[in-house]
Structure 1
Amino acid sequence: MKALSFPKSSRLLTPRDYARVFNDVQIRVPHRNFLILATPNEVNQARIGLVFSKKNLKLAVQRNRVKRRVRETFRLQPDFPALDIVVLGRRGLADIDNAVLNQLLDDLWSRLKRKHRHLTTTVSHDQTDASEGRG
């Protein structure tokens, strides 16, 4: 049963963790119903935090359903990079059924991974160019 768990080490737990992501956003994955913000971390593991307001999802049952779907699709992602991720919900999420929501989230996770790969290759390429330029 441990393989199906969602441990504390996979979650953003403190306001400081959330503030670190909000103050140093390096990757943004926008969508009509979600906004995903991410920044690399030093813990060598992806961690996720969720922000779903009553303004956008009126009923607690709606907020809880969407949060469960986000956590589950995140947990099932293979080889996720070491990022601190905050997922913000936008309007219209209550009208999306679970199958569509799962597909949408899988697409957003793959976009996040792609942007992270692009960011790391760009940063490493820039550092290589800078070191070769000196000498």
Structure 2
Amino acid sequence: MTDYCFPRHVRLLNAEDYQSVFNDTSSKVFAGEFLLLARKRDDNQTRLGLIVSKKTDKRAVGRNRIKRLVRNSFRHHKTPLSGLDIVFLARQGIKELENVDLHNRLDKAWGQLAKKALKSPQSKKHEQST
């Protein structure tokens, strides 16, 4: 049975965690209304951090809706994303998306992020040396 909870060990908890992703981003997925940044970890643990500012939605209800949908989607897609620290950065326009549309865009973005993360850095080094 798959574990769909969101405990502390799968969250980015402090500023240092977020800063490490911003400073050492290995994969990015831009989906218009949001941006996913990822950094490879040394272990197989996957962690998620959420940034939904007041600029994206002035009402706390709207910001919480976005975070709830992202957490729910992440729970179902975290297995192929193993070994990554991920930051979800909401952008303006996300509050206009319906729940179904946001969920579909997130599904697509998780897949793109997993595909980009699977590309090994050794293959990039090999391409650069030839």
Q: TM-score, normalised by structure 2?
A: 0.89
1:25 is displaced (CA, Å) by: 1.1
CA distance in 2, matches of 1:7, 1:88: 20
For residues 17-49 of structure 1, what are the alpha-carbon distances to aligned partners after superposition, in whole Å with 9 as ceiling and x for unaligned? 001001111111112100111110123111000
In structure 2, the partner of 1:46 is: 46
In structure 1, the partner of 2:28 is: 28
Corresponding pairs, count:
128
CA distance in 2, matches of 1:72, 1:29: 19
1:126 is displaced (CA, Å) by: 5.1
CA distance in 2, matches of 1:26, 1:126: 12
- Equivalent residue letter for 2:66: V
In structure 1, the partner of 2:114 is: 113
1:1-135 equivalent positions in 2, closer than 5 A: 3-77=3-77, 78-118=79-119, 120=120, 123-125=121-123
Change in CA separation of 1:124 and 1:99 when aligned onto 2, cut-off 3 Å: same
Change in CA separation of 1:100 and 1:126 when aligned onto 2, cut-off 3 Å: closer
Larger Rg: 1
The structure with the largest helix share of the pair is 1
Root-mean-square deviation (CA, aligned residues, Å) is 2.2
Q: TM-score, normalised by structure 1?
A: 0.85
- Equivalent residue letter for 1:99: V
Change in CA separation of 1:128 and 1:30 when aligned onto 2, cut-off 3 Å: closer
- Equivalent residue letter for 1:38: A
- With a CA cutoff of 8 Å and minimum separation of 6, indicate the structure with the bigger relative contact order: 2
List gaps (5 residues or longer) in structure 1: 130-135
CA distance in 1, matches of 2:109, 2:66: 14
